[in-house]
Structure 1
């Protein structure tokens, strides 16, 4: 059994970044996923997700012979260390994270793993999950002395590879000290650089993950509520955010007013934490309020667009620039932009969208995704900037002035250059600001 052999089960965002990152340390990594199409892409050096620098890092790992891909867990039967990064989607029935993929992965690993192997859970799971998995392994495979360790990820989509190589902390939870040490050794290079390592039990480790995401979601929601106030009483929400973010007790991150949080983590994790709290009779009132306010954010935006268009969206064409839930990713899961697209279509508007990377399939005759900003804006009564892509920051809307039906922009991300010469000829409305009327 080689100590530098590692298996990663589930090669989505978290698993693929983990695998490529560990391979860059010189460790031998086998990636296992049930999706044969994904495995085929990866063998060819093509990542199934868009992430800055990932394709180059993946191909380097392949060229060095440090990473391999399979649909069969038996090909990693000699690995002493497994990382499990399968999906834990929200159950529509319970509001909690579904664990069927995780449980199947752990069972498959346990059937082939060598004695004293460590199974490390990177998937975000309800508090108590790892303890329950350990009890199951102890019952079903007592002779193998397998150990479960919780090792949550703290990656941001769009900067995930950078975040892997520049962690602010590493959290390792487990009942077995030798098992924790084996996981810790795989991150030895970070510890040498002074990255803090938190060792704990699995309950603490699991809670850290949920609490971190819930706190960040709360910051997003807080600044959006203040933004609504600024829209009414006046002021500059960007300067408000800067003014409070310079306080070291608060910090500047996640204080950008916008359409609310989205993506694969915050919506799922806040809902799961609220569900866990109710299940244990400890209601998470702040988190539940955050969820409610964030869910209403899209309605607030839609109403502002509707008001600017004479309270009538039916029959109007709207250009939506951006589909991903944030820039530098192709992820449209729980994207505010996508929710706005569906809401506009339900109101009878025709929608033309453009995103430089993300794709969206909508079975509605009023929807079409375009290949350019200009094509999306053609005939539009409103242009909605929904994702903070760099090309929207610098786009000269002079190029589409004659193509649109009305020169009106609703800037959900506050990135449009309102001081540009072309801006004087457009009505521009932004989150956190009143409508700016065209002056020429």
Structure 2
């Protein structure tokens, strides 16, 4: 058995980045996923997700023969380290993370893994999950002496590959010291660079993941509440954010006012942490408040748009620029932009949307996803900047002036250059600013 015998089970967002990253170090990585269509694409060097640099990196490790793909976990029976990165979606019934995919993956691995193999869980799971999985393995596969490790990911969509190669810390939690060291060996390239390695028990590791995401979600929500205040009392939220972000105790990251957090992590993880707290009788009041405020953020934005359009959206055409929950990704899960689209349609508006990468379909005759910004803006009474794509930031909107029905723009991301020549001819409203330009 080679020390570099590694298997990644579940090659979605987290798993594929993990696999390509480790394979880039020259480690032999076998990837397992039940989705035959996904595996076929990956074998041809086509990633199932959009992520900057991922396609080139994938094709590079395929050419180097350090990565392979299969739908059968039995083909990884020679591996001594298994990373599990399957989905743990939120249960609509309990509000907690569903563990059926994870449990099935661990059971399948246990059936084929050699004696002494390590199973590292990268999926985000409720606190106590890894300990429960270890107890199950000890009961059902005692002869194999398998060890569970909690190894959470801290990737940001849009910069995930960069984040993998430049981690701020690596967290490895297990009851077994030898299992922790086996996972640490796979990250030897980071150890050599002095990247902090936090070695802990599984509950500590699981809590770190939830606490980190909840804290970042809290920063986003805090600056959005201050943004609402600035809109009322005057001022500029960017200056406020910079003024507090320069304090080293606070830091500038996640202090960008906008439509609220979204994506696959923050909404799911904050809800799960709140649920875990209630179940154990330790209510996470700050997190619960963050969830409530973030959920109401879309309503606040809709009301601003309605006010600007005379309290009547029915029959009005609205251009929504951006559908992904953030720039540089095609992920529309829990996207504020998508929520705004739904809200506009419910109010009777006609929505024409454009995103350079993300796709979103809804069975509604008043919705159309366009192939260009010009198509989306044609006949629009309002243009909404919903995702902070660079091309929206640099676009000269004078090009669409002949197309729109009214030159009104609501910048939900604060990326438009209000000092550009064209801006003086538009009514521009922005999150976090009382500024409004009057159109000619």
Give the TM-score taking structure 2 as reference length: 1.00
Q: Please show how residues 72-83 of structure 1 align to structure 2 within 5 Å.
A: 72-83=72-83
Contact 2:149 2:179 in 1 (8 A): yes
Residues 292-332 of structure 1, C-alpha deviation per residue, up to 9 Å, x if partnerless?
00000000000000010000000000000000000000000
Aligned partners of 2:126 and 2:158: how far apart in 1? 25
Aligned partners of 1:222 and 1:187: how far apart in 2? 35
Show the counterpart of 1:206: 206
**Secondary structure of 1:143's aligned partner:** helix
Contact 2:407 2:439 in 1 (8 A): no
Show the counterpart of 2:55: 55
Aligned partners of 1:147 and 1:232: how far apart in 2? 56
Show the counterpart of 1:2: 2
Show the counterpart of 1:95: 95
Question: Cα offset for 1:426?
Answer: 0.2
Aligned partners of 1:421 and 1:210: how far apart in 2? 45
1:247 paired to 2:247: yes
Question: Cα offset for 1:435?
Answer: 4.9
Question: Cα offset for 1:5?
Answer: 1.1
Aligned partners of 1:385 and 1:161: how far apart in 2? 27
Question: Cα offset for 1:271?
Answer: 0.1
Show the counterpart of 1:285: 285
Contact 1:345 1:367 in 2 (8 A): yes
Aligned partners of 1:266 and 1:277: how far apart in 2? 16
Q: Please show how residues 36-435 of structure 1 align to structure 2 within 5 Å.
A: 36-435=36-435
Residues 109-148 of structure 1, C-alpha deviation per residue, up to 9 Å, x if partnerless?
0000000000000000000000000000000000000000
Q: Which runs of 4+ in 1 moved over 2 A?
A: 437-440
Residues 230-276 of structure 1, C-alpha deviation per residue, up to 9 Å, x if partnerless?
00000110000000000000000000000000000000000000000
Aligned partners of 1:431 and 1:34: how far apart in 2? 43
**Secondary structure of 1:283's aligned partner:** coil
Question: Cα offset for 1:439?
Answer: 5.0
User: Which consecutive residues of structure 1, in runs of 5 or more, have no partner in the other structure?
Assistant: none
Aligned partners of 2:362 and 2:43: how far apart in 1? 31
**Secondary structure of 2:144's aligned partner:** coil
Contact 1:427 1:435 in 2 (8 A): no
Q: How many residues align?
A: 440
Aligned partners of 1:48 and 1:195: how far apart in 2? 30
User: Which consecutive residues of structure 2, in runs of 5 or more, have no partner in the other structure?
Assistant: none
Question: Cα offset for 1:3?
Answer: 1.2
Aligned partners of 1:34 and 1:340: how far apart in 2? 34
Aligned partners of 1:398 and 1:98: how far apart in 2? 49
